[in-house]
Amino acid sequence: MRIKSLWMLLLISIVACQPTEQPATMDSIAEKYVKLMLDIGQYDSDFVDAYYGPEEWKPQNKRDTFPSADFLVRANELISQIQSVEGDKDRKLMLVKQLIAARTKVEIINGKVYSFDEEAKLLYDAEPPSYEESYFDNLLMDLENALPGEGSLADRYNEFVNQFIIPKDQLDTVFQTAITEARKRTMARYDLPENENFVLEYVIDKSWSGYNYYQGNSQSLIQINTDLPIKISRAIDLACHEGYPGHHVFNALLEQNLVNNKGWKEYSVYPLFSPQSLIAEGSANYGIDVAFPGDERIQYEKEILFPLAGLDASMADKYYEVQGLIGKLSYAGNEAARMYLNGEISREEAADWMVKYQLNEPERALQRTRFFDQYRSYVINYNLGKDLVANYVESQGGTADQPEKRWEVFKELLSNPNTASTIQ
């Protein structure tokens, strides 16, 4: 009996010495989420777009093979934990959506194939619309009327817009001027950290035209791809989209409001293939209209950017009339991506589609197929994202005739957890 009692005491002692797992909280879940995102990012260089959290959270070891099963288990466990703890409901919902996207991306890396629409829904929490070819044919008729003449419409269009290429020796001057103006307009309405800033670089051999690499502490690296000639309209577009009030401001506000003020560490990492990207890209595109509404943009370009680039400002109105018609064809790019990624057409056929329905030059169309290869259904975030953001802002009173309200609602959108399904 004495021996049995000693064994019981020893067993109790061993159990008592075992560390007890602390109950999950949103903050502990956030830490595990960040570490999971960083671990996945070791196996896909595009997966983590930005990280500015604790240095010690970065992974120290990388396995020889992609540990998809482990990542899926961890993602599922976190989803289950989130649903069982107390916390801000918007914070919880967004984190679940982000984890569903991460789980889906792990499956894709591991070889699972989703259709374009299934992938878009799981990664970006959005259902991309689909358009018949006749829809784009009708839009092309408007361009036929705007650009009469001999030859194909694509040739006439490219001959017209090639008059508006920024000379390479004026590229930096034009871009720096556009960014400065976009920043001035944004800072007049938003209180960003005093130290906020960016570095601008020109690069080549990329599948995209511009990129913002957010560095944390309100700092960004903005890169402009100069592989192909750059039209004058891209100066304001990229200044706003990559900078103010686009990606740079979006990330700075999330860092300021959610990471620093609320302590929500999950926002110290930005997984690119996630619902956060639809809001990021959609707001960056809509931000162009917020900063340069209506005729203000054309007037500014006539007075400042066209002369800086040595271009004929008297042609600005016609140029933007044509660009507005081209903008209506943006969903043709989504259809090309859908058919190409679903295996219905070849790369060359996808490029031909964009030559016909977006009037791309062949070289630019092929560059776009590289983007499809690298980022897949991510393409929906630019146009569908913009439409959803625009509808949300305007439904909250931020209409074109209420610019101050539009800036206010836009900032609220940028500063808080939002995803496609919560702004519809």
Q: Count structural domains, the chain.
A: 2
The token pair at 95 is 């984190």
Do 220 and 89 sit in the same domain of this protein? no
pLDDT in tens, the chain (424 residues): 444 555 555 555 544 555 556 789 999 999 999 999 999 999 999 999 999 999 999 999 899 999 999 999 999 999 999 999 999 999 999 999 999 999 999 999 999 999 999 999 999 999 999 999 999 999 999 999 999 999 999 999 999 999 999 999 999 999 999 999 999 999 999 999 999 999 999 999 999 999 999 999 999 999 999 999 999 999 999 999 999 999 999 999 999 999 999 999 999 999 999 999 999 999 999 999 999 998 999 999 999 999 999 999 999 999 999 999 999 999 999 999 999 999 999 999 999 999 999 999 999 999 999 999 999 999 999 999 999 999 999 999 999 999 999 999 999 999 999 999 999 9
Contact of 202 with 175, CB cutoff 8 Å: no
Do 203 and 257 sit in the same domain of this protein? yes
Do 264 and 163 sit in the same domain of this protein? yes
Closest listed residue to residue 62, CA positions, set 83, 49, 45, 50: 45
Do 171 and 292 sit in the same domain of this protein? yes
Do 52 and 197 sit in the same domain of this protein? no
Closest listed residue to residue 37, CA positions, set 280, 269, 213: 269
Do 157 and 223 sit in the same domain of this protein? yes
**Domain end: 72, 96, 124, which one?**
124
Cα–Cα distance measured from residue 250 to residue 381, given in angstroms and rounded to the nearest whole number: 15
In angstroms, the first-to-last Cα distance of the chain is 71
Cα–Cα distance measured from residue 405 to residue 399, given in angstroms and rounded to the nearest whole number: 8
Do 156 and 114 sit in the same domain of this protein? no
Do 272 and 380 sit in the same domain of this protein? yes
**Domain end: 101, 124, 147, which one?**
124
Please give the pLDDT value at position 15: 47
- Decide: residue 286, CB within 10 A, 0-12 exposed, 13-18 middle, 19+ buried: buried
Do 77 and 169 sit in the same domain of this protein? no
**Domain end: 124, 142, 158, which one?**
124
Contact of 309 with 234, CB cutoff 8 Å: no
Please give the pLDDT value at position 22: 75
Domain that holds residue 87: 2-124
pTM attached to this predicted model: 0.93
Do 287 and 396 sit in the same domain of this protein? yes
